[in-house]
Structure 1
Amino acid sequence: MALIAELDAYQDTLYPAEARYALDVDALALPCVLFAVARDAGGVATGCGAIVLNEGYGELKRMFVRPQVRGSGTARQVIEFLEAAARARGCEVVFLETGPYSHEALAFYDKQGYGRCGPYGEYPDHPLSVFMCKQLVP
């Protein structure tokens, strides 16, 4: 819960509420949601992420790594774990929506093989949204 609160506080500094499409904590507990938390050696939560399994695709949500551990590989470990879990459940493609001011996130997703695409699902085409996707199976 602390990680989600930190992510929300960070997002509040970048984007207006109407341009944010976050899952709340209750939604993260739904059966269609794969949620992972990374912890350090002392058990302190350092990062998290989720994939929502929809009909025909997954959606990456709530990726966040605390600033003090960025660059340590935590985000890569979380996303690889989530992608493997989604693939094991038959998911072939993962989409995500982020914002144009999230420069670190955009660079990270690009490095992980996500490419720019158009809006998907119920998302509107909005200037504060960047859409990306990645095929999990060739």
Structure 2
Amino acid sequence: MIVARADPRTPGCALLLAQSHALMRAMFAEEDNHFLDIDALCAPDIRFFAATEGEAVLGTGAIALRDGYSEVKSMFTAPAARGLGVADAVLTCLIDTSKAEGRPLLRLETGPGLDAAHRLYVRHGFVPCGPFGAYRSGPGSLFFERPAD
């Protein structure tokens, strides 16, 4: 498996992102969905990555470079690739990229019920925190952060 910078518009990445967005829409109210669409993932302040094996895209993840921190975005693993370490590899890459970009802190917003994702974040040193940026506190959002080092 290789985790590297990728273009979210490529068919494999776009397919996984569509699956992720459909899942988020099914689980959460519209106002609680804060995912970035494909065009937003192409912005200059976004670092988008894909985990691949051969031609298959196994997972995606991104960081949004913010003032003083990076925000984890678009973490998703293909259902057939779950349990293979894909999310661990992608998140490790995002943490390393955030450090390389000089951001001292990583933050993320997620939703209740995504228990496997919450366990992943805790394994990687994330701890609960309050809302940040433009996010608001509410029943559809959980917030985590970790220092970059």
TM band (smaller chain) = over 0.9
Q: CA contact under 8 A between 1:34 and 1:86: conserved in structure 2? A: no
Query: After TM superposition, which residue ranges in structure 1, 4 or more long, deviate above 3 angstroms?
Result: none
Picking from 35, 38, 41, the partner of 1:25 is 38
* Matched residue type, 1:78: V
* Matched residue type, 2:99: R
What's the offset of the Cα at 1:29?
0.9
Picking from 104, 108, 123, the partner of 1:96 is 108
Picking from 70, 75, 84, the partner of 1:58 is 70
Residue 34 of structure 1 aligns with which residue?
A: 47
Picking from 11, 33, 58, the partner of 1:46 is 58
In 2, Cα distance between the equivalents of 1:83 and 1:32? Answer: 16
In 1, Cα distance between the equivalents of 2:25 and 2:38? Answer: 17
What's the offset of the Cα at 1:128?
0.9
In 1, Cα distance between the equivalents of 2:26 and 2:41? Answer: 23
Residue 3 of structure 2 aligns with which residue?
A: none
* TM-score between both structures, scaled by the size of structure 2: 0.88
Count of aligned pairs: 136
Supply the RMSD in Å over aligned alpha carbons.
0.9
Residue 96 of structure 2 aligns with which residue?
A: 84
* TM-score between both structures, scaled by the size of structure 1: 0.95
List alignment gaps of at least 5 residues for structure 2: 1-13
List alignment gaps of at least 5 residues for structure 1: none
Percent identity over the alignment? 36
Name the SS for the 1:46 alignment partner.
Answer: strand
What's the offset of the Cα at 1:112?
1.3
In 2, Cα distance between the equivalents of 1:130 and 1:36? Answer: 23
Name the SS for the 2:39 alignment partner.
Answer: helix
Alignment of 1:59-138 (within 5 A): 59-137=71-149
